[in-house]
Structure 1
Amino acid sequence: MNKFLNDIRSSKNPISINRKIINTMAVLFIGITLGTFSKFLDFCQAELPSVLMAIDGALDVHNFLGRFAIWVLIALCISIYSNSALRASLNVFVFFVGMVTSYYLYSNYVAGFFPRSYAMIWFGFTMISPFLVFVCWYAKGKSKAAAILSMLILAVLFNMTFVYGWGYFEARSILEFVVFIIGVIVLKRDTLRNSVLMGTISIMFAFLLNMVIPFSFG
């Protein structure tokens, strides 16, 4: 417990008010840009280069941005590299507000339609995101509790990245495989051995989670 508390104290690096505002505005801008770009790909997919297309495309960027894995990874990175849990909550909330708002404004006013049921899912995810990343921020520590938290986060990311069952196992796409690898790097522990252990146990957690909640996270 003492080590966990020390992790919390040592992770809080004070920054100026101006820097906090600049960082949050930058996160908002990134969210708006990515939300607009994502909807642009959705709206103009017929004009995309074949390598980016959903059908027989090598990268499948359109569908990739329509699933959760990449957005969870971005939220995780914002959380881990924020200087406090409260700042992580604010920054991630601002990011998703920018991303979701720009996506559905583009959808409504440029594409000419508003998918209400799908939008409600993203609005709900945006509302709970500050609470989730508040907890995720503590995964950056070096305590056993932080290591377990990292394993659980990776387990969720694993189930968003791979589809598997009796006799089959594959990544949803090349890009989502890369997302999982980046997640492992972001959450890596202090030694290679501990990082490998974290990755191995997280996969076990993923299988258990899939048994309890057998729904697609894609």
Structure 2
Amino acid sequence: MREMLNKIREPEGISSSKKIGYTTLFCILGMMMGIISKILDTSAINELPYVLQVLDLGNFLSRLGVWLFFGVMISVYSKSPMRAALNVLMFFAGMVGSYYYYTVAVAGFFPKSYMMIWVALTILSPVLAFVCWYAKGKGLVPIILSSAIFMFMTSQTFVFGFWYFDLTHPLELLIWIATILVLYQSPGQIAKVVMIGMVLFIIVGSQVPLYYGLFVLLFLN
């Protein structure tokens, strides 16, 4: 199994000090992002600087897509699938932990149901990161993985129906473009990824928000 996976993408060596440093950095980054997100979430929009009001950054950071993008980016640029799993886990643990610590300690309430949803996603994140790491490899498997990632990010960016096609949030478009850049390896490779990903989005990807909604309801009940 290891030989087969190494043919797709071979892990790179990294010193112990860099391993500790990078993992700590991702944890701190997650903590900072969690606190910033919660501050924006609890602040009245007219109290924020004009630029943040226009960008609607609070609502943007409350959406799933931006956090999935961070997870994908950390995954594919890690040196090995195990490093990807650990780095993403620490990022989400830091983000979720700081977000809900601020919620309880400063905002003064405890949304247990929604917290459990994010805890569940955090627990799943290492497995997803391990798999996503191979999206930057060679062959058919990375094309399939990249297409699936692109499909999911497209479902977070656009709303698709029989008579309509709309953008969910202006900043989501930047994340969508950034996803293409992160997954890019060659013109031919990214053309296949975008083409297959868009077909998957039209067929099943437009229903991803529905599946996420069912996941949320499962935990709320």
Question: TM above 0.5, one fold?
Answer: yes
Task: From 148, 152, 165, give the equivalent of 1:152.
Answer: 148
- Matching residue's letter, 2:76: I
- Matching residue's letter, 2:48: L
Structure 1 stretches lacking a partner, 5+ long: none
* 1:63 matched to 2:59: yes
Query: Aligned partners of 2:193, 2:4: CA distance in 1, in Å?
Result: 18
Which stretches of structure 1, 4 residues or longer, exceed 3 Å deviation after superposition?
Answer: 1-5, 210-214
**Mapped contact 1:59–1:173 kept (Cα < 8 A):** no
Aligned residue in 2 for 1:15: 14
Query: Aligned partners of 1:93, 1:3: CA distance in 2, in Å?
Result: 25
How far apart are residue 5 of structure 1 and its match? Answer: 3.5
How far apart are residue 3 of structure 1 and its match? Answer: 8.1
How far apart are residue 4 of structure 1 and its match? Answer: 5.9
Query: Aligned partners of 1:31, 1:152: CA distance in 2, in Å?
Result: 25
Q: For each residue in 1:121-166, what CA deviation from the matched residue of structure 2 results, as whole angstroms up to 9, or x when unmatched?
A: 1111001011111100000112111111100111011101111212
**Mapped contact 1:161–1:172 kept (Cα < 8 A):** yes
Task: From 195, 201, 207, give the equivalent of 1:200.
Answer: 195
In angstroms, what is the RMSD of aligned CA positions?
Answer: 2.0
SS at match of 1:215: helix
- Matching residue's letter, 1:181: I
Q: For each residue in 1:176-195, what CA deviation from the matched residue of structure 2 results, as whole angstroms up to 9, or x when unmatched?
A: 011011001110132x2331
How far apart are residue 216 of structure 1 and its match? Answer: 6.8
How far apart are residue 211 of structure 1 and its match? Answer: 6.3
* 1:141 matched to 2:137: yes
**Mapped contact 1:79–1:134 kept (Cα < 8 A):** yes
Query: Aligned partners of 2:62, 2:92: CA distance in 1, in Å?
Result: 14
**Mapped contact 1:161–1:171 kept (Cα < 8 A):** yes
Aligned residue in 2 for 1:161: 157
Whichever structure has more helix as a proportion of its residues is 2
Query: Aligned partners of 1:73, 1:213: CA distance in 2, in Å?
Result: 16
SS at match of 2:78: coil
Label 1:45 to 1:105 Cα distance change in 2 as closer, same or farther (>3 A). Answer: same
Query: Aligned partners of 2:206, 2:154: CA distance in 1, in Å?
Result: 14
Structure-1-length-normalised TM-score: 0.90
**Mapped contact 2:9–2:136 kept (Cα < 8 A):** no
Q: For each residue in 1:69-112, what CA deviation from the matched residue of structure 2 results, as whole angstroms up to 9, or x when unmatched?
A: 11000000100011010110000000000000000000111011
Query: Aligned partners of 1:135, 1:94: CA distance in 2, in Å?
Result: 17
- Matching residue's letter, 1:202: G
Query: Aligned partners of 1:78, 1:196: CA distance in 2, in Å?
Result: 23
* 1:100 matched to 2:96: yes
Identity %: 40
Structure-2-length-normalised TM-score: 0.89
**Mapped contact 2:155–2:208 kept (Cα < 8 A):** no
Query: Aligned partners of 2:168, 2:208: CA distance in 1, in Å?
Result: 18
How far apart are residue 51 of structure 1 and its match? Answer: 3.9
